[in-house]
Amino acid sequence: MERAFKFKLLPTPKQAIKLLNSLDACRHLHNAALEERITAWKCCRKRITYKMQSKEIPEIMKAYPEFKSVQHHVLQRALKRLDRAYAAFFKRIGDRKAGKNACKVGFPRFKGRNRYRTLEFDRTAFSLKGDQLRLSKVGTSKVVLHRSIPKEAVVSVAYVKRDAVGDWWVMFSLELPDAPVRTPKTAIGVDVGLLHLATCSDGTVFEPVRSLKSGLKRLRREQRRLSRRKKGGTNRERQRVIVARTHRTIERRRSDWLNKVSRKLADSADVVVFEDLRVKNMLQNRCLSRAISDAAWGELIRKTTYKAEGAGGMVLRVKTQDSSQECSNCGRMVQKDLSERTHRCVCGTVMDRDLNSAIVIVKRGIGKLQGIVPTFCGVSHDCAAPTGGTPGRDACGETGNTAARAVAPDLVEAGSPPF
Ligand SMILES: [Zn+2]
């Protein structure tokens, strides 16, 4: 299992200058390599590969002394990055032609100053002892280890990044041994939304953080100030940092909350079931796109997934179709528009609309999982041992329907949500 750990890096002023020079060298190399690829294609329809370009590095280092202060592998990885950007570009083009993706496809860009921020050091170019990180041709600087790196982890790459504010960070890419997969016994369904970030099938509700909404006023003010500053001036640079800091605060607030929510979700059951949302399509709704981005559902699902997998659990995604219309108790379709917050069915089920969705989602998840793990019933008691149940029934003798109800027993039967 691959994970990334991010720490603050504290280079000395001299080291910071070396790092900045390295960034600049890599940026120039990136731009030159991109130009070479474009020209070769335009004039003689020739494809330049990573291999061809990386062979030229020793010559470049000879011809331009500023490249000598950068480690060979760091330059190589800068070229590799461009190669990846190319591959990703053609993949997106292919996806678009195949009709999988209707997004605009951007070509790899030339990078201006402030647009190239990351250096990649591979295993040969760095070493970490305690909180001291030695980077080849830069020196040894302190890392703020706010969490410990697991002893069994294999650190493969260190990404050194300068953020828009001007702070340095190091991100380690770790290879961790896979956690033993738990036999799934409990499941929880999660309905994500704008009014509540997440409504779980057990009745728990997580509010959205709305970090952009709360920071928008300040962000707008600072951006207005930035637009008034003279281009190239000291004051503009100072204001640019203030805007970057505002963005960073918004981002951190969101990330913090999503980490807390995803941790609770991942710990609450062996299987967490989400809807398979097409967030990109939903963002085309211009009235809601900002609120949807701010809610960051995709990020919530991503964070929950790696947290669950790290603990031997799993995250399932099920089809969203009609999950808000279907009755969680009897399966009838109850048509309602977005403004209707309560689900009322002729079978007597009355509950919050999102809670109903969450229960429908967990049922679909349980159904999907029973195809993979036939003994799974979704109830929080030990029923993993097969007892020779009839086909279509769980090992413990319960059907999928009652299983889902058992996840939220009081709610369904009491007929009213606890909030
Ligand atoms: Zn019903």
DSSP string covering 133-194, please? EEETTTEEEEEE-SSPPPTT-EEEEEEEEE-TTS-EEEEEEEE-PPPPPPPP--EEEEEE-S
Confidence of residue 305 (pLDDT cuts 50, 70, 90): very high
Long-range contacts of 214-218 (CB under 8 A, 24+ apart): 214/253, 215/246, 215/249, 215/250, 215/253, 218/246
**Residue 308 C-beta-side C-alpha neighbours within 13 Å:** 26
Q: What is the pLDDT of residue 376?
A: 65
Cα(344) to ligand 1 centroid in Å equals 8
DSSP code of residue 231: T
pLDDT at 374: 62
Look at residue 310 and tell me whether its pLDDT is greater than 60: yes
Q: Which entry of 191, 222, 294, 326 is annotated as an active-site residue? A: 191
Query: Of 113, 116, 58, 55, which Cα lies nearest the Cα of 82?
Result: 116
pLDDT digits (tens, 9 = 90+) for 33-45: 999 999 999 998 9
Catalytic-labelled residue, pool 83, 270, 275, 394: 275
Catalytic residue among 83, 202, 326, 354: 354
Residue 309's nearest CA partner among 279, 267, 369 is: 267
Handedness of CA 405, 410, 414, 417 (dihedral sign): negative
Question: What mean pLDDT comes out for the span 303-317?
Answer: 92
Q: Which of 257-271, 281-295, 387-401 has the highest mean pLDDT?
A: 257-271
Position 171 pLDDT exceeds 90: yes
pLDDT at residue 332 greater than cutoff 90: no
CB 117 within 8 A of CB 161: yes
How many angstroms separate the alpha carbon of residue 199 from the centre of ligand 1?
19
Which of 81-85, 102-106, 134-138, 308-312 is the least confident region? 102-106
275 C-alpha vs ligand 1 centroid, how far in Å?
21
Asked whether residue 84 carries a pLDDT value surpassing 60, the answer given is: yes
Task: Report pLDDT for 17.
Answer: 95
| Confidence (pLDDT) at 375 | 62
pLDDT band of residue 54 (cuts 50, 70, 90) is: very high
The reported pLDDT for the residue numbered 66 is 85
Least confident of 76-85, 91-100, 259-268: 91-100
User: Does residue 398 surpass a pLDDT of 60?
Assistant: no
Averaged pLDDT of the chain: 85
Taking the C-alpha atoms of residue 230 and residue 232, their distance in angstroms, rounded to an integer, is 6
Cα 330 to ligand 1 centroid, rounded to whole Å: 4
Task: Answer positive or negative: Cα dihedral of 78, 84, 90, 92.
Answer: negative
The C-alpha atoms of residue 369 and residue 377 are separated, in whole angstroms, by 9
Strand bridging mode 187-192 / 271-275: parallel
Distances (CA, A) of 383 to 28, 366, 395, 403, 410: 61, 14, 7, 12, 21
Say yes or no to pLDDT of 364 above 80.
yes
Q: Which pLDDT belongs to residue 263?
A: 95
**376 and 396 Cβ atoms separated by less than 8 Å:** no
Q: CA-to-CA distance for 188 and 200, rounded, in angstroms?
A: 7
Whether 202 is a known active-site residue: answer no
pLDDT of residue 407: 40
Give the mean model confidence (pLDDT) for residues 132-142.
95
Active site annotation includes 354: yes
CA of 347 to the centre of ligand 1 (A): 4
Residue 406 to residue 378: CA distance in whole angstroms:
8
Please tell me the distance between residue 345's alpha carbon and the centre of ligand 1 in angstroms: 5
Distance 350 CA to ligand 1 centre (A): 9
Question: Is residue 153 within 8 Å of residue 176, measured between CB atoms?
Answer: yes
Strand partners, 342: 352
Compute, in angstroms, the gap from residue 138 CA to the centroid of ligand 1: 67
Cα 297 to middle of ligand 1, angstroms = 28
Tell me if residue 191 is catalytic.
Answer: yes
Other Cβ atoms within 10 Å of 179 Cβ, number: 13
Q: What is the mean pLDDT of residues 296-317?
A: 91
pLDDT tens digits, residue range 204-242? Answer: 999 988 888 888 999 999 999 999 999 989 999 999 999
Pick the more confident residue, 104 or 107. 107
- Residues of the chain with pLDDT > 70, as a percent, come to 88
Residues with CB under 5 A from ligand 1 (ion): 327, 329-330, 332, 345, 347, 349
Mean pLDDT, residues 110-125: 92
DSSP string, 283-351: TT-TTTHHHHHHHTHHHHHHHHHHHHHHTT-EEEEE--TTTTTB-TTT--B----TT--EEE-TTS-EE
Residue of 343, 361, 347 whose CA lies nearest to 408: 361
Residue type, 341: R
Q: Which of 120, 44, 130, 52 is nearest to 86 (CA)?
A: 52
**pLDDT tens-digit series, residues 234-283:** 999 999 999 999 999 999 999 999 999 999 999 999 999 998 887 777 77
CB 395 within 8 A of CB 402: no
Tokens of 338: 């977005």
